[in-house]
Amino acid sequence: MATRSSTVRVLNKSTHGLGARPNDFRRFASMDPISQGRTIRDGMDAIIAERVAKELLQIPLQTLLTGLGLPSSTILRKISRQERLSGAESDRIARVLYIHEQATDVFEDAGLAAEWMRRANATLGGMTPLEVLDTQPGYDRVRDILTRIAFGVAA
C-alpha cells in the first residue's frame, strides 16, 4: 500500500496532476488539507473536469462548467492540450469533490449524492447545489444544508 507521501508525490508530478488517473477522486478526499491545498494551487489536470461531470455527477461537461462559472472554451482547450487547470479553476472543481464526498456520507450512496447535487433546492432559492458552488458563500451554504440533513435539522 502506498504511503500518503508517495501518493502526494505521484499527484504532484509535472506530467500527472490530479485527474489523470483512475481513483483520483478518492485519493484527493483522503489527502490531508495541506496536500489538498498544494494540489489545488499546482493545478489539477484539466481532464478532471470531464471526469467529474461524466463519472461523478453523470452530467454533460458543459453543465458542470456553466454551474461553476468556468469558461468552456478555456477548459476545453486545456483538456485537448492535456494542460492543467489554474489554481482558481482547480478550486472550483475541488468544491464539487468536497461536496460530493460530504453528500455521499450523508446519503450513503454516491449516485444519490450526485442526484441531490443536480436537483433544485428551495433553500438555495430554487438553484441546484452545483449552481452555487462557484462562490465561497454558496459552497458554505451547501455544506450547512448537508450538515443539517445529517443531523435531522430542518434545512
Q: Cα–chain-centroid distance for residue 97?
A: 3
Contacts of 25 (CB under 8 A, 6+ apart): 51, 52, 55, 56, 97, 100
The share of the chain scoring above pLDDT 90, in percent, equals 77
Cβ neighbour number for residue 51 with a 10 Å cutoff? 20
Q: Does residue 4 sit within a domain?
A: no
Q: Does residue 8 sit within a domain?
A: no
pLDDT in tens, 17-76: 666 565 677 788 889 999 999 999 999 999 999 999 999 999 999 999 999 999 999 999
Please state the pTM of the whole predicted model: 0.84
Q: Determine the structural domain holding residue 74 and report its residue range.
A: 13-150
pLDDT tier for residue 78 given thresholds of 50, 70 and 90: very high
Q: Does residue 46 sit within a domain?
A: yes
Q: Does residue 73 sit within a domain?
A: yes
Q: Does residue 69 sit within a domain?
A: yes
- Count of domains in the chain? 1
Cell of 80: 485537448
Q: Does residue 40 sit within a domain?
A: yes
CA separation, residue 87 to residues 68, 111, 115 (Å): 14, 28, 27
